[in-house]
């Protein structure tokens, strides 16, 4: 009887172990499927981020090139305006200003009298 009990308990342990292995395999399979889906979703999100960053870089390159062209056009316009200013500035002299009605003035400086506290010197402003 003792041997029958041992074999029955031994058989139960074997069946329980097989059942447990089946549960472990099922859980591992489910875990693998979840892990696979997580990897696929992560890969999709990374691809989307890569496309967005790449598109942003292309847009910035195009914008930079257009700004460079605009800067060159503005630089040449500034150069033309400087030439116009220099040619107009070279024509202005004392004779020209007198013909327009300007005249030279004598400078007048404002002075104030000291309050007599520090030796009586006049301070000029």
pLDDT digits (tens, 9 = 90+) for 9-27: 777 677 666 656 655 565 6
Segment among 37-46, 51-60, 75-84, 99-108 with least mean pLDDT: 99-108
Q: Which residue has the higher pLDDT, 115 or 103?
A: 103
Indicate if the pLDDT at residue 4 is higher than 70. Answer: no
Positions of E strands within the chain: 111-112, 123-124
**110: Cβ–Cβ under 8 A, 6 or more apart, which residues?**
124, 125
**124: Cβ–Cβ under 8 A, 6 or more apart, which residues?**
109, 110, 111
pLDDT, tens digit, 9 for 90 and up, residues 88-99: 988 888 888 889
For residue 98, is it within any domain?
Answer: no
Quick one: tokens of 94? 């004392």
For residue 52, is it within any domain?
Answer: yes
Q: What total number of domains does the chain contain?
A: 1
Q: What is the pLDDT of residue 1?
A: 55
Alpha-carbon dihedral sign for residues 81, 84, 87, 90: negative
Could you tell me if 9 and 16 are in contact, meaning their C-beta atoms sit under 8 angstroms apart?
A: no
pLDDT, tens digit, 9 for 90 and up, residues 58-71: 999 999 999 999 99
For residue 14, is it within any domain?
Answer: yes
For residue 81, is it within any domain?
Answer: yes
For residue 114, is it within any domain?
Answer: no
Determine the structural domain holding residue 8 and report its residue range: 1-86
């Amino acid at each position: 009887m003792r041997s029958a009990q041992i074999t029955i308990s031994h058989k139960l342990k074997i069946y329980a172990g097989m059942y447990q292995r089946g549960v472990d395999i099922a859980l591992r399979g489910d875990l693998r499927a979840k892990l696979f889906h997580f990897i696929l979703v992560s890969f999709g999100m990374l691809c989307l981020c890569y496309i967005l960053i790449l598109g942003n870089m292309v847009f910035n390159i195009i914008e930079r090139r257009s700004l460079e062209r605009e800067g060159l056009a503005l630089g040449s316009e500034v150069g033309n305006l400087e030439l116009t200013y220099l040619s107009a500035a070279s024509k202005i002299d004392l004779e020209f200003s007198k013909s327009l009605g300007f005249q030279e003035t004598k400078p007048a400086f404002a002075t104030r009298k000291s309050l007599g506290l520090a030796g009586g010197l006049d301070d000029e402003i």
